Structure 1
Amino acid sequence: MKRTFLSLFLLYGLISLMIPKAAAAQGTCATAWSDSMVYTAGMTASQSGENYVANWWTQNQSPATNSGGAGSGQPWTATGACSTCTAVPSVPTGLNASGTTDSSTNLSWTAVAPPSGCSVSYKVLKSGASIATTTTTSDAVTGLSPSTAYSFTVEATDTAGTSAPSSAVSVTTLASSCTTVPSAPTGLKATGTTDSTTNLSWTAVTPLSGCSISYSISGGPSTLTTTTASDTVSSLTPSTSYTFTVVAKDHAGTSPGSSVTVTTSAPSSLIVGGWFEEWSIYYAGYNISNMQANGVADKLTHLFYAFSALTAPTSATAACVLADPYADYQKTSVPQVTGPYSGAGGVYGNFAAIQQLKGAHPNLKTLISIGGANAPNTAAFVSAASTAAGRTALAHSCINMFIQGNLASGITAPGLFDGINIDWEFPAATDKTNFTALLTEFRNQLTTLTATTGKKYLLTFDAPAGLSDANNPGGYDTIDIPATFAQSDFVTIDGYNYAGDWELATNDASPLYDAPASPLYGTGLTIDATVQAYLATGVPASKYTMGFPAYGAGWTGNLTSSNCGEYQNATAVSPVPNANGVGSCSTGNNQSSPAAGCDVMLTSGLATYGTIQNLLHNGYSACYDSTRAATSAFNSSTHTVFSYDDATSIAAKVTYIKSHGLGGGYVWAVKDDDANGTLVKALATGLNP
């Protein structure tokens, strides 16, 4: 359903062009700030190792205590750390090695005199690759292999740059006294198994003379290595059987393995997701705070933020960019969730409200969705994913911006998002291998970050609900389902748009099951057909997350009450109704200058659930088809029908989710629900009673 909002999304995104951007960070310090000097807009100064740019006329206002991001009202904006160090240090000399054993050696060298204003550190390199950084003139290198030749060099570095490598010193480690392969571990057992983890333990193997023992655990998402006789395996899939094998290793070789089979439990809670569109704060007037006020935030497990855009690819690379910086972090008048805005890190707008929401709901996971139904974004995905360099650059950019929180120069929001949703709509057959490789690159970089922070980061993607065809080159047949699911924590798969404004034949837009009476019978355009197609590939059912629409698809003209207006030929898609359910919007499908009071989707052929509820009080009657688990609303006077989800159809779909072991569901989009959040609450109550 993302396509429908594109013009509105782009319109309001233009607002961000009028917001002044902070200057780029500089490595060299500007002239030191003076309390007697007059500064005008654009002039720079430095203070305490930070560069600043003046936003307007200012005097005797210290940048260190009077700076902030765009919209903060401060006279200064920080543009980055700086240094008075301008000279690269000289090359280290006197490198030598001593005390070499079968697994280690001690390196030392002569200290380099620091250039003026600089402090020097050293990088130790093994065969040209950096292995350590130190501020002293020695380093103990460990973890070497016996009877092996190594070449070491040292570089000196300061903020101005890095010297050339020193002359190399060659080291050959001693032979190992370990000559016997260890015995197999015994007593392997699993305890405390949950839906995502298990604890493995075994009897320690006694090391033989001259040997040291390590253990390798295989059978999980990755191979683990430990020197103790226990370890916890995490990131497992719920309701899945795993066989773990543990082997002991020493220098002489690897033992036979011991194995144990474990079945993870069902999910402790199912996913209840909601999509928030950044542009919903404009015409719809729907903010993050609405979810707190109506209780929806209490029900969600995951909140998706739509969208991040991508830059046009250059030399097969692309990067994440903020689609609307004004809505994202600059708008200071966004309603509060709890407490006053602190403006911490220069962040206001939707992102500040998300931070507040997470403070009030510490178990809520937030994900940035990258892409959407936007032709330039799709082109950027295609190009960037086609090369290893492009995939690496894109993943690094998105993770740096949204996971590490480096939103703009001087603007930071660490911890804002807990994961990434890739919304490439949709990879074609020629992109199949590259799409898998792109997800793999994102997963690898997130895993690397986890090793530093200790925090688990989520990776998901939005997957197609149907097969590819001449009009839609991307379908579930054009992606490697098992390989892409393997890289993902879960996958969002739309459960809607099976019928819509591209045709005038009325039908259920979000049917769970097929029915012989439907003109589309046997074409696979049902949720059940989509689920079965995915599960037939052998992917874990718990990674399949079903989409629910908070809007209806509508048609009008030449329709009768037979089958509540469904399975007939309309003369047109429905006009945009007024949100109060009385009459039609006077400007119709005119997103550039809409009249007040229209349905907030502002799109012919569609209406939000909130508006449909008002239509039911103004001439429309609801019909529920238990065969298809689908609901319709028909008006016999205007000959108009809307196909939509309500609490009854949601209950049937929730039963299906649980009986098939699926991972949960999500709603597109929270602004389109009624004011009480009825659909989200119905989904949550069913999934996690």
Structure 2
Amino acid sequence: MRFRHRAAAGFATLLLPLAGLVGLAGPAQAAETATATYTKASDWGTGFEGKWTVQNTGTTTITAWTVEWDFPSGTSVTSAWDADVTSSGTHWTAKNKSYNGTLAPGASVSFGFNGAGSGSPANCKLNGGSCDGTSVPGDNPPSAPGTPTASDITNTSVKLSWSAATDDKGVKNYDVLRGGAKVATVTSTSYTDTGLTAGTDYSYTVQARDTADQTGPVSGAVAVRTTGGTTPPPTGDTVKLGYFTEWGIYGRNYNVKNLVTSGSAAKITHINYAFGNVTGGKCAIGDSFADYEKSFTADQSVSGAADTWDQPLRGNFNQLRQLKAKYPNLKVLWSFGGWTWSGGFTEAARNPAAFAQSCYDLVEDPRWADVFDGIDIDWEYPNACGLSCDSSGRDAFKNLMSALRAKFGANYLVTAATTADGSSGGKIDATDYAGAAQYVDWYNVMTYDFFGAWAAQGPTAPHSPLTSYSGIPTAGFTTADAMAKYKAQGVPAKKLLIGIGFYGRGWTGVTQDAPGGTATGAAAGTYEQGIEDYKVLKTSCPATGTVAGTAYAKCGSNWWSYDTPATIGTKMAWAKTQGLGGAFFWEFSGDTGNGELVSAINSGLS
């Protein structure tokens, strides 16, 4: 993928002078103490900004914290950051986020909120004890229960059993979670879930509660498929894959549920979730808020049920889990790197085994292990230049993919997004893609972004030409040239997917209708200069011609090139004659509300 933009997630905290310290503090660990201190950071009459600081004043690490307090009637929390804040009447409760619950001795953490009214907190408790550190409840959260096992599976029910959790004060009960949502609370270590749908995939985890109602970590997940059902098995092995961007839920307001409402989920075989970061030689979370923290409302959710504050998994990961339950044959891969984060692969290539281990540990995190069926590597570009330049050597990519396959094994998908530079001595020639092909299931060959308004003066050219044409600015910059070069290197045609961009690239200051005209710069785009979604261009600048299998249009002084359902049909037919493994596209949110480009790919490959 050539263009990658990430929206900032989460909430911003105002850095204002501290005022009005109110000392309130308390304990959080057996035989240890902790304090919670409240500060009113600012006050604007009708509202204020409050801040709590939790400090571990003991000698044992704290693994979780909960701060509770009472506000007088008329005072409330309107928004919060770095904690999950809920209320029951005038009683308020704040629990740590997944990333800030652990406090070493002497360490502290703060969370803040905006409030309405003028009251101050009272009756503070920290993990059930006094907030001033004078009383020690000595109550740790419970441990994780054992991963459930499934038995007595029928069309509509399954029995789950698990080994007990432990707790210093005793376990009170267990929450049974189906797809991350609580379906039951039981006192025993078994539960039979009923009312299920025949022939459907489900995922279960369990979470313990202690006598103080503290919840511990979630168990590992068990996947269950009920018997019966009429869901047909996948037909053939043709891949129809789309990228879903983690940041699309922000400005674009494109959620996983849109894959259902557009009809696209029923017409694809795979989703690449973009992107995980590559940093410090390891795979890492890209955007924790979007990935697993954001709460979706009922109308935004695939299941139609709103997320709750104490749900063990939220965000896009939980929505993808719900999507897979609805479409059991759909596979999801986690894509790492991309244009912005490809610089991290240089360090990763120095120790491929350590990199592969980090990726496996992240993909198989018990909180979302059932969501992902494989890993996709988007290195732009090995032993060549993209946003930055890499000089790891011709074998670096092969060594990395070999390590990933060795770690993930045969039951996981291992794929990669790769260059489409078919020029002589270009990026395909810089890397041993044929040698790496034995370790991958397929390559997503990025057969788009060949030309664009980074060449501000032109010449205008289609950004995703299928074949060459008279006047093409750079020889070898076509889909056909790229695929021919891969196959000549020894990459099997079945491991090559043709790429489709669900967007156009354009120039302004253009006077010539046909390709090859001069320009003065990039045409205006909704999110970035020189780029616009198909769903916008379809009506704002309808196609007026085709060249090299791609549509183009001139509207006023703007000139755009993009794929339409008709040109996609041409490209899919060509892909079948070449024996390619299928197609992929970047990315879902560029399509129309009824998914007409996805439909064109599906129809063209059927």
TM-score by length of 1: 0.56
Deviation at 1:45, TM superposition (A): 13
Aligned to 2:347: 383
In the other structure, the counterpart of 1:55 is: 66
Q: 1:439 aligns to what SS in structure 2?
A: helix
| 1:250-399 → structure 2 map (5 Å cutoff) | 268-311=236-279, 313=280, 318-333=281-296, 335-341=300-306, 346-374=312-340, 377-386=341-350, 390-399=351-360
Q: Could you tell me which amino acid in structure 2 is paired with residue 31 of structure 1?
A: A
Amino acid at match of 1:331: K
- Cα displacement string for residues 381-436 of structure 1 (whole angstroms, at most 9, x for unaligned residues): 112212xxx3222211111112x125xxxxx1121111111111101163221221
- Cα shift at 1:678: 0.9
Q: Is 2:261–2:594's contact at 8 Å kept on the other side of the alignment?
A: no
- Identify the residue that residue 610 of structure 1 maps to in structure 2: 535
| From 672, 676, 684, the counterpart of 2:594 | 676
Aligned equivalent of 2:545: 623
Task: Flag structure 2 segments of 5+ consecutive residues without an equivalent.
Answer: 15-27, 39-51, 71-81, 87-92, 103-233, 385-390
Q: CA separation in 2, counterparts of 1:415 and 1:552?
A: 35
Question: 1:54 is matched by which residue type in structure 2?
Answer: W
Task: Give 2:381's aligned residue.
Answer: 426
What does residue range 637-652 of structure 1 map to in structure 2 within 5 Å?
Answer: 638-652=556-570
- Whether contact under 8 Å (2:422, 2:477) holds in the other structure is no
CA distance 1:300–1:18, change in 2 (3 Å): farther
Match of 2:473 among 494, 508, 520: 520
**Secondary structure, in 3 states, of the residue corresponding to 1:498?**
coil
Give 1:572's match in structure 2, choosing from 521, 525, 533.
521
The 8 Å contact of residues 546 and 666 in structure 1, kept in 2 or not, is answered as: yes
Tell me by how many angstroms 1:524 deviates. Answer: 1.1
Counterpart selection for 1:632 from 524, 527, 552: 552
Q: Match for residue 442 of structure 2? A: 490
Counterpart CA distance in 1 for 2:472 and 2:500 is 23
CA contact (8 A) 1:284 1:671 kept: yes
Residues 519 and 423 of structure 1, relative CA distance in 2, 3 Å threshold:
closer
Structure 2 residue corresponding to 1:509, chosen from 463, 471, 475 = 463
Deviations 1:610-656 (A, max 9, x none): 1101214xxx552234xx21111222xx2221100001111111111
Q: Which amino acid aligns with 2:270?
A: H
* Paired residues of 2:243 and 2:273 also in contact (CA < 8 A): yes
User: Does 1:665 pair with 2:590?
Assistant: no
Contact 1:42 1:55 in 2 (8 A): no
- Aligned twin of 2:365: 405
User: 2:348 corresponds to which letter in structure 1?
Assistant: A
Aligned to 2:430: 478
Contact 2:302 2:322 in 1 (8 A): yes
RMSD: 3.3
2:465 corresponds to which letter in structure 1?
P
SS at match of 1:478: coil
CA distance in 1, matches of 2:498, 2:466: 11
Query: Tell me, what secondary structure is at the counterpart of 1:501?
Result: coil
C-alpha deviation, 1:380, in angstroms = 2.2
Give, as a single letter, the amino acid of the residue that structure 2 aligns with 1:607: E
Looking at structure 2, the residues matched to 278 and 683 of structure 1 have their Cα atoms a distance apart, in angstroms, of 23
Counterpart residue identity of residue 304, structure 1: N
Distance in 1, matches of 2:349 and 2:426, equals 15
Q: Quick one: distance in 2 between partners of 1:367 and 1:72?
A: 33
**1:509-550: CA deviations, max 9, x gaps?**
11111122x2437x1111001110111122211110111010
Alignment of 1:437-452 (within 5 A): 437-447=399-409
Task: Assess if the C-alpha contact under 8 Å between 1:38 and 1:58 holds in 2.
Answer: no
SS of equivalent to 1:611: helix
Letter aligned with residue 408 of structure 2: L
> Which amino acid in structure 1 is aligned with residue 327 of structure 2?
H
Structure 2 CA distance for partners of 1:572 and 1:494, relative to 1, 3 Å: same
How many residues are matched?
416
Q: Deviations over 1:442-489 (max 9, x none)?
A: 110101xx6xxxxx11100111110589xxx97111110211111101
Q: Which secondary structure state, in structure 1, belongs to the residue aligned with residue 276 of structure 2? A: strand
Amino acid corresponding to residue 332 of structure 1 in structure 2 = S
Q: Return the letter of the residue paired with 1:372.
A: G
Instruction: Give the superposition deviation at 1:557.
Output: 1.5
Distance, in Å, in 1 between the alignment partners of 2:552 and 2:241 is 24
Distance across 2 between alignment mates of 1:332 and 1:272: 29
Q: CA contact under 8 A between 1:43 and 1:53: conserved in structure 2?
A: no
In structure 2, give the amino acid aligned to 1:438.
Answer: L
* Alignment-mate amino acid for residue 353 of structure 1: Q
1:2, distance to aligned residue in structure 2 (A): 3.5
- Matches of 1:538 and 1:366 in 2, distance apart? 28
Report 1:120-135 matches (<5 A): none
DSSP-derived class of the 2:320 partner: helix
Take 1:606 and 1:683, find their aligned partners in 2: how far apart are those partners? Answer: 22
TM-score, length-normalised on structure 2?
Answer: 0.63
Compared with structure 1, are the counterparts of its residues 554 and 568 closer, same or farther at alpha carbon in structure 2 (3 Å cutoff)? same
Q: Distance in 1 between matches of 2:314 and 2:65?
A: 20
1:320 is paired with a residue of what secondary structure? strand
Distance change (3 Å), C-alpha of 1:342 and 1:285:
closer
Alignment deviations for residues 581-622 of structure 1 (CA, whole Å, 9 cap, x no partner): xxxxxxxxxxxxxxxxxx3xx111111101101214xxx552
Q: Tell me the distance in 1 between the aligned counterparts of 2:335 and 2:94.
A: 34
- Alignment-mate amino acid for residue 535 of structure 1: K
* 1:648 counterpart SS class: helix
Q: Which residue of 2 aligns with 1:12?
A: 8
Amino acid at match of 1:659: T
CA deviation map 1:165-222 (0-9, x unaligned): xxxxxxxxxxxxxxxxxxxxxxxxxxxxxxxxxxxxxxxxxxxxxxxxxxxxxxxxxx
Q: Deviations over 1:50-103 (max 9, x none)?
A: 9642232279xxxxxxxxx9648565558999xxxxxxxxxxxxxxxxxxxxxx
Residues 425, 17 of structure 1: alpha-carbon distance in 2 compared, 3 angstrom cutoff:
farther
Relative distance call for 1:670 and 1:38 in structure 2 (3 A) is: closer
